[in-house]
């Protein structure tokens, strides 16, 4: 027995943060599918989750002593916030921990499409060399394009700043009235204008229920036929069936999706086998620095459990 509060680590975190936490609580590393999870949960005062573990009403009902839910990440879509609030359970996250990582991912993904680069891996003759450098294969120049940002929060505003520095004409749409001092050179427009004007459209909205299928058939029809659509926010903001239909009927359009309505992507997903859809396994935030920063939500967890060093 120990006087330390019992905390469940439901998913792996950075090793240094894990060791730090283990020195300060009675730590049990158990996924929700582990046979001992329910019995340990009954005595748990805290739980640390990432993306795969849902903190729902059933879990809360099995955790009468739970005081703190710590999400090693940003989005709280997997946590029943109303139920936690009703129980007086504190919910923690790390809002800015992965901003830089996601911004870098968006820029890298965009560049891969707009500025494809051939690699020379063997000797080529002059004819092949000329073909690789032919003018009809020249890339589009970004300072001639319009960059649209849907959601001008921490990540959206940072991406907008980089796009402005590259030379894009930057437009954004957000529910909030963003002060001029925080916009940089980006210009606010309504959603219809954003959809119709963007050569690149990147999505950075939050997980509120109203954002479910925010973009469906009607919105996709407004997009340019050669638009590059990037989603690193939430999978459910896009109607995947509608996007799949639009992509299949518009080969000049490209979509890069790092988040998906169901993860892992099931075999019957409408996005599979769509040639102009680039699917990633939810990795935008996964830099070493980002993962470590998200893991240190355990500091706040320990603080809220009133564990003293």
Check if 282 is active-site. yes
What percentage of residues in the chain have a pLDDT greater than 90? Answer: 89
In a shared domain, residues 89 and 103: no
In a shared domain, residues 213 and 250: yes
Q: pLDDT class for 308, splitting at 50, 70, 90? A: very low
Number of domains in the chain: 2
Residue 309 covered by a domain: no
In this predicted model, which residue has the larger pLDDT, 307 or 281?
281
In a shared domain, residues 21 and 76: yes
Own/partner pairs for 114-121, CB < 8 Å, 24+ apart? 114/139, 114/140, 114/142, 114/145, 114/200, 114/228, 115/139, 115/142
In a shared domain, residues 140 and 271: yes
- Mean pLDDT value across residues 145-174: 97
Strand (E) or helix (H) holding 80: none
Checking if the pLDDT of 270 tops 90, the result is yes
Residue 1 covered by a domain: no
Check if 234 is active-site. yes
In a shared domain, residues 162 and 276: yes
Average pLDDT in the chain: 95
- Pick the catalytic residue: 15, 144, 218, 263? 263
Q: Model-level pTM? A: 0.89
Q: Are 50 and 73 in contact (CB under 8 A)?
A: yes
In a shared domain, residues 30 and 172: no
- Mean pLDDT value across residues 85-91: 96
Q: Which domain holds residue 88?
A: 6-97+290-304
- Pick the catalytic residue: 32, 282, 286, 304? 282
Checking if the pLDDT of 117 tops 90, the result is no
pLDDT of residue 275: 96
Checking if the pLDDT of 309 tops 50, the result is no
Q: pLDDT class for 1, splitting at 50, 70, 90? A: low
In a shared domain, residues 266 and 295: no
Checking if the pLDDT of 225 tops 90, the result is yes
Residue 169 covered by a domain: yes
Q: Are 239 and 213 in contact (CB under 8 A)?
A: yes
CATH of the domain at 12: 3.40.50.720
Condensed to tens digits (0 to 9), the pLDDT of residues 96-108 reads 899 999 999 999 9
What are the strands of the beta sheet with 200-203, ordered from one edge? 187-188, 169-173, 146-150, 200-203, 228-231, 254-257, 277-279
Check if 222 is active-site. no
Condensed to tens digits (0 to 9), the pLDDT of residues 147-159 reads 999 999 999 999 9
- Pick the catalytic residue: 234, 240, 260, 261? 234
In a shared domain, residues 150 and 269: yes
């Amino acid at each position: 027995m120990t006087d330390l509060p019992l905390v469940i680590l439901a998913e792996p975190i950075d090793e240094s943060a894990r060791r730090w936490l283990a020195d300060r609580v009675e730590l049990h590393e158990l996924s929700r599918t582990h046979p001992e999870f329910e019995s340990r949960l009954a005595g748990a005062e805290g739980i640390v989750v990432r993306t795969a573990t849902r903190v729902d009403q059933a879990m809360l009902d099995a955790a009468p002593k739970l005081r703190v839910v710590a999400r090693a990440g940003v989005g709280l879509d997997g946590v029943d916030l109303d139920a936690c609030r009703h129980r007086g359970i504190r919910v923690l996250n790390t809002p800015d921990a992965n901003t830089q990582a996601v911004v870098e991912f968006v820029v890298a993904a965009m560049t891969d499409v707009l500025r494809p680069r051939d690699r020379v891996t063997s000797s080529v003759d002059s004819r092949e060399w000329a073909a690789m450098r032919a003018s009809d294969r020249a890339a589009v120049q970004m300072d001639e394009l319009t960059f649209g940002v849907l959601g001008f929060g921490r990540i959206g505003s940072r991406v907008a700043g980089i796009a402005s520095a590259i030379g894009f004409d930057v437009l954004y749409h957000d529910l909030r009235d963003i002060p001029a001092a925080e916009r940089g050179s980006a210009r606010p427009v309504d959603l219809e204008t954003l959809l119709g004007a963007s050569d690149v459209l990147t999505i950075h909205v939050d997980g509120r229920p109203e954002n479910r299928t925010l973009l469906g058939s009607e919105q996709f029809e407004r997009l340019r036929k050669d638009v590059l659509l990037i989603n690193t926010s939430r999978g459910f903001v896009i109607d995947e069936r509608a996007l799949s239909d639009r992509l299949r009927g518009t080969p000049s359009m490209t979509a890069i999706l790092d988040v998906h309505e169901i993860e892992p992507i099931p075999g019957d997903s409408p996005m599979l086998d769509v040639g102009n859809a680039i699917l990633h396994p939810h990795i935008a935030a996964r830099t070493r620095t980002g993962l470590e920063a998200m893991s240190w939500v355990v500091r706040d967890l320990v603080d809220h459990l009133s564990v003293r060093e």
